[in-house]
Chains A and B, each alone.
Chain A
Amino acid sequence: MPSIKHPFDPESLYQVDEEGNIRVSNGNQWGVFTREGRHLSGDIRHADPQLCVWVGNNPGQENQLRSTAVTAKRTL
């Protein structure tokens, strides 16, 4: 599942869960958020909405208009 640690808070790990929501964990604490950053459950009540937008945004390759340089960052 896609995951990223927050640059300003490297202990906070943002991951996409099996339902497509964003799970934020920090040590033993966690919270679950929508892909826009709205809190759903858990002790961690606040997440960076833009990092939720980012980590939850995983487009397929089938409709991409350009197959080379657009995706070059991933395949560098």
Chain B
Amino acid sequence: MSEAYKPLDPETMPRSPGITYQQLLDQDSRSVPDVLRLQSPKDMGLQRYSVKRYTSAAWHELEVERLWKKVWQFTCREEDIPEPGDHYRYDIAGMSFLIVRTETGELKAYPNACLHRGRMLKEFDGNAAELRCPFHGFCWKLDGQLKDIPADWDFPQINQSEFSLPEIPLAVWAGFIFINPDQNCDPFDAFIKDLAEQFERWNLGGLYKQAHAAKVMPCNWKIAQEAFCEAFHVNATHPQIMRSIGDVNSQVDVWENCARVITAGGTHSPLLTDVSNPDLIRAMMDLDHDAEVPEIPEGVSLRTFLADRSRESLKAIAGDRAETYCDAELMDSLDYTLFPNFHPWGAFNGIVYRFRPNGNDHRSSIMECMMLAPFEGERPPAAQVHWLKEDETWSSVLGFLGKVFDQDSFNMPKVQQGLEATYMDGIVLSGYQESKVRWLHHKLTEWVGE
């Protein structure tokens, strides 16, 4: 653990008035898994982080050289390339890679570039029996070995047995394929360890990708990402859900390579008083202000009532597995982040975010949301990515969740513009609520520098 992270005592650290997340867990109607009982608050100081991290092309170039070319990063799901010959094009900050399923079912990653004159080998995801360059026809087998050089008599300098595509380190966790552009990188196991231990119970590998949406956002990738790394913004950005979630009393935990924010549902924000149960239910269900709502049976807590309803709904797609989830796993947002940009939610939600630079434009980024779902019987085919156009809303494809994204998206270009205009030299972050954002910047400092 970095020396910059000083453990805090959850019992004595400064925190919001109102019920704590652990106290809410004490009221759960089911046994609460150990992973939710973990607490890892950290004191990481109160320093500011330079605005240049969001506004400077030079800082982006450092990020590319020191981070994106060196770090393990999520590319696609195994289920995106299930058959031999299936390939996925993964682009990051001006680089391009091919993730390929070979004839034996093995996964390989290569730079997406011909070894002759450098042309991109594949422009699109798809299926092919070989990797043939559309420029002069140099061709490689799916396992990367050279297959054919047209007019090979004219290339006496090439040792054909050594002219294989360079292999990029690749690893799989829970159905997610990661690569590292650095062929001398550190092992993946140490990189994923913190996250993998905490997700043992939730088995994201057993889910299938039911939906996948992406959009180019007019802001630096960190602005988009950081919009999803704390619940403090709920009171201003998502006021409509304050009646149904605990925002400023969210629990924030930081480990070496991952962090999480747990925001409870079925409880109201400590910033509000006297929220009635019907108003909480209306907020949770996005119902009109005077809509009728179900009555809560006597002796049943609101959270348990709502969790029971959610459990019943989940049974339709998850079967008896739904019975194994406690109230908290059904009601709460368990938003994990694996550095630098991978965001799987814990429990049944199946939500996964990814944020990355849009090519080498430091003022735009690609935001994605995948939704994983349980299934019974044969694995359904994975959903292909649906790219939203500039004027299309997230809600048009992701419903209620998309409506929330649209509010976050409403802020993003204004944050970019404000950071371009500001006279302050660094952004200000809170000590606890925004400690996941602070952790991300600590990690960036380690990788990229100040």
Contacts and interface: CB of A to CB of B under 8 A. Distances in A.
Q: What size tier do the contact residues of chain B reach?
A: 35 or more
**Most interface-central of A4, A36, A48, A63 (chain B CB within 10 A):** A4
B386 A7 contact: no
Interface string A36-63: 1000000000001111011101011101
Contacts of B272: 7-8
Interface stretch (B21-29, B114-122, B138-146, B237-245): B237-245
Contacts of B407: 50, 53-54
A71 B313 CA distance: 11
A61 B240 CA distance: 21
Interface in B277-305: 284-290
A36 to B, nearest CB: 7
A51 B317 CA distance: 33
Interface in B366-422: 371, 373, 383, 386, 393, 395-403, 406-407, 410
Interface residues of A, number: 33
A53 B316 CA distance: 33
Contacts of B239: 6-8, 48, 50-51, 54
B431 interface: no
Contacts of A48: 239
Contacts of B399: 59, 61, 64, 66, 70-71, 74
A50 B397 contact: no
B398 A66 contact: yes
A74 B398 contact: no
A57 B371 contact: no
Contacts of A70: 211, 371, 398-402
B397 A64 contact: yes
Contact of B410 (A49, A61, A73): A49
A7 B240 contact: yes
B40 to A, nearest CB: 28
5 contacts: A4-B288, A49-B410, A50-B407, A65-B398, A70-B400
